[in-house]
Homo-oligomer: A and B are copies of this chain.
Amino acid sequence: MRQKKVRITIFPSKEIISVKRGANLLESLLSGNIPIESLCGGKGICGKCLVKVIRGNLSYQKPSSSILTDEQIKDGYRLACLSNVDEDVTLSIPYTKEIKTNKLTTFLFVQEKSLNPSVKKVFLELKEADLKNQISDWELIEKALAKKISLCPSLNGNLGKLREIPFKLRRSNYRSTIVLYENEFVTLEEGDTTNRQYGIAFDLGTTTIAGVLYDCVKGEIVIADAILNPQHSYGVDTISRINYAIQSKKNLNTLHSKIISGINQIINSLCKKAKINSNNVYEVVVTGNTTMTHLFLNLSPLGLSRIPFVPVIKNSVTINSKELGIKINENGKVFVFPNIGGFVGGDTVAMVLTTDMMHSRDFKLAIDIGTNGETVLGNKDRLLACSNAAGPAFEGAQIKFGMRATDGAIESVKIENDDLKVKVIGNIIPQGICGSGLIDVVSTLLKLGIINKSGRILNRKEIPDNVSDKIKKRVIEKQNGNEFVLVFRNQLSRHKKGIRLDTSVNLIKTENIVLTQKDVRELQLAKGAIAAGIKILMKELKVQEDDIQEVFLSGAFGNYINVDSAVTIGLIPRGLKDRVEFIGNSASSGALMALINYENKKRAEEISQFVKYVELGGRADFQNEFANSMHFIM
């Protein structure tokens, strides 16, 4: 009898998953928690779910030749989304999901100095009840806390927490540590555990989920981690995920559980690396755009799917970790940042919190660049925010060789010896180009006159004479728009010595790394949306470039960006060039601030009420600005 199950072995990790014969490969890998990218949702368009067959065969549908060449197919490359598993196979996966975490921590700018988290631990040595003082277990604790810290703890209807008390109190000989969340009783621990208290700040990005583990006793960041948002295979941008989520409750549940499992994966990895027990993590603070926090909370984004784009709730939410299945202490708490309106969510509140724009006399501009870009402009009297669907170009998606800012990504370019030289993250063999690299390349080509104002990659003969032949030769003329070669295939072998063993198998060796005409157009759309948003806010506030004293640039992208290049391509107004300050991942920083000092939660609530949301969608002037902003002005 033919077996119903077949096995997929992953090389080099040697993970094995067992799946139904005939199953779709992408779905099998995703449900087996094998880290594979997919940006187009399994439509065979993005080419990110590439696998290389090492042993066995896959039945597959041939993708368009712009995605995979015949040679690549001959070499065993397949798209997982277009393949089915009919027999046991061994595969390697070229695009990994891991993001370098050391870089993330470097780019957190946390202003908060005063350690005052919502979670407090109080060690009590209690006097046991007797016939003269026949006091209940709970009252015993209540009175001792009132005496020690003038606080009367509330149970807040969470009775389950009481259940262990009689046992723990007696076992610990009435020497116990009380864990509180503001005035709410969280749990009782036997003995003195006041030296173990952690929290985790999360930024739920459309593309990336980042978590930072914080030691609430020492008052310091322990470690950070980030993964690709596991919802990614259900669409690259918020709009596709909203559309998926509102189709059925099942779909919403799927996206919800994807994000929860991603968060739990980070929690698990952070605790493992830091060698701490997740029971000692009592709080998780979460920021994210409105769509992400809705999906996180399992709230339908129905109202966000159509005019007038309203969320279910604007206020912040404090909820038991158990209710969401977040695997920290079972009585732990989750604080979710409030949002501002429409698609402008808690991550923007966090950015305003980090920059303290709300208390500044000077006008300041803050731009968070991600799949969903948000812009805030104003001062203490008035702050306006808008949302720009920048698309995932800055995070590597929908760019032919696009990838996130991880090992193997071209992060910048320069002209050296009359030729173009690339700088690659991790100093290994280049695999693609990340957002900052993309900006740098386009800026360089603009300066050289290889790309013109309208964004077209010129033919060789149209290129100014002062450009070297070496560089001119990089332009490949094609009917549907030219390409510019960043790395020639034959150059790759020269890099090969330095590469790590475990990435060698992941390399596509058969193709040049190029910037396509379509890539330039994607960048134009992305930078155009952001630039137009800035113009509209300036207009609304009647503010000129000169009035803006400071420009904050936020985002994982912002860590690596070359300001000069950003100005060249028109992402940032030229006049503001010298006022740019990088603030790293301000969403994570803001979340961390709320974790460090609970007063920042109130401030976040104030910001959410104070900042006014400007809806760009319905405005004719935005459409005009957008059209204008897509051009390059040198």
Contact = CB atoms under 8 A, between A and B. Distances in A.
Nearest to A290: B136
Nearest to A164: B300
Interface string A272-314: 0000000000000000000000000111101100011111111
A156 interface: yes
Interface in A346-377: none
A310 B159 contact: no
A323 B159 contact: yes
16 contacts: A129-B308, A130-B308, A134-B309, A136-B303, A136-B310, A136-B311, A136-B341, A137-B303, A137-B311, A137-B312, A155-B317, A157-B320, A159-B319, A160-B323, A162-B297, A163-B299
Interface residues of A, number: 47
A165 B135 CA distance: 43
Contacts of A496: none
User: Which 8 pairs across A and B sit closest by C-beta, in order of nearness?
Assistant: A138-B313, A136-B314, A166-B302, A136-B311, A131-B308, A129-B310, A137-B312, A159-B319
Interface string A121-156: 000000001110111111100000000000000011
A512 to B, nearest CB: 48
A166 B299 contact: yes
Contacts of A298: 163
A615 interface: yes
B319 A135 contact: no
A342 interface: yes
Contact of A136 (B136, B156, B167, B312): B312
A451 B249 CA distance: 74
Given A300-B167, A318-B157, A313 B162 contact: yes
Given A138-B312, A138-B315, A156-B157, A131 B307 contact: yes
A297 B342 CA distance: 43
Contacts of A299: 159, 162-163, 166
Given A129-B303, A156-B156, A158-B319, 7 more contacts: A131-B618, A134-B310, A136-B311, A137-B303, A138-B313, A155-B317, A157-B323
A457 to B, nearest CB: 40
A371 to B, nearest CB: 22
Contacts of A315: 138-139
Interface in A166-209: 166-167, 170
A11 interface: no
Interface of A: 129-131, 133-139, 155-160, 162-163, 165-167, 170, 297-300, 302-303, 307-315, 317-320, 323, 341-342, 613, 615, 618
A604 to B, nearest CB: 16
Contacts of A160: 323
B136 A313 contact: yes
Nearest to A137: B312
B618 A297 contact: no
Number of copies: 2
A11 to B, nearest CB: 42
A298 B160 CA distance: 8
Nearest to A342: B134
Contacts of A155: 317
Given A167-B302, A618-B131, A157 B312 contact: no
Contacts of A615: 131, 134
A165 B314 CA distance: 14
A592 B318 CA distance: 33
Nearest to A339: B136
A333 to B, nearest CB: 8
A177 B308 CA distance: 23
Nearest to A336: B159
A615 B130 CA distance: 11
A166 B312 contact: yes
A325 B67 CA distance: 54
A134 B297 CA distance: 21
A137 B303 CA distance: 8
Contacts of A308: 129-131, 133-134
A540 to B, nearest CB: 15
A166 B134 contact: no
Nearest to A304: B166
Contacts of A158: 319, 323
A253 to B, nearest CB: 10
Contacts of A302: 166-167, 170
A309 B135 CA distance: 9
A300 B163 CA distance: 7
A306 to B, nearest CB: 10
Nearest to A300: B166
A311 B138 CA distance: 8
A167 B162 CA distance: 36
A43 to B, nearest CB: 28
Contacts of A165: 312
B319 A137 contact: no
Task: Find the residue from A159, A165, A303, A320 having the highest chain B CB count within 10 A.
Answer: A159
